Amino acid sequence: MPQVRLIDDAGEQVGIINTREALSMAQERGLDLVEVSPTARPPVCRIMDYGKFKYEQSKRDRIARKKQHVVHLKEVKLRPKIEAHDYQTKLQHARAFLEEKNKVKFTVTFRGREMAHPEIGQKLLVKVLGDLADVASAEAHPRAEGRMLTVTLLPKPGKPVGKGGTPSAAERAAAT
């Protein structure tokens, strides 16, 4: 690599010069010579403070990670003979999970003779889908897995969570 295309610390293109000369220019300024594009002919190098560059890059990455939301799968377990109040409580929990942009998996578990009437569990899941239709949509139809009936709900796209978006469950509780 006898010659490189050099870009100085101000972002101006110096031109194609000898590698040793580029290295000495960087040392005179107390900066580093960084190879930006090794596959180009001739390779492109830049004079910069590499430590400062890495620091600013890590800062940008940290800010980007802070802004992203990881979707979790939350599970709400139901029984075919669930009482109305228990149903409403579990529905509120599921609604809070969906408003926080998490997936929710509803599971109806059958025990003993309850397996003779799986239509009760189907009706319960259809009711759940209807009650949460404003904030969620079903990923697939309810399906049977042994003694369980499951359906996964996805949050509907809407306003972003956090600043200016829909309040989280904790924020709603604090407001009341």
Per-residue pLDDT of 131-150, as tens digits, reads 999 999 998 888 998 899 99
Q: Of the residues 38, 65, 92, which one is the last residue of a structural domain? A: 65
Domain co-membership, 88 together with 162? yes
Domain range holding 123? 73-175
Q: How many domains does the chain have?
A: 2
DSSP code string of the chain: --EEEEE-TTS-EEEEEEHHHHHHHHHHTT-EEEEEETTSSSPEEEEE-HHHHHHHHHHHHHHHHHH-----EEEEEE-TT--HHHHHHHHHHHHHHHHTT-EEEEEEEP-GGGGG-HHHHHHHHHHHHHHTTTTEEESS--EEETTEEEEEEEEPP-SPSSTTSPPPHHHHHHH-
61 with 90, same domain? no
| Per-residue pLDDT tens digits for 69-98 | 788 899 999 999 999 999 999 999 999 999
Residue spans of the chain under pLDDT 50: 162-164
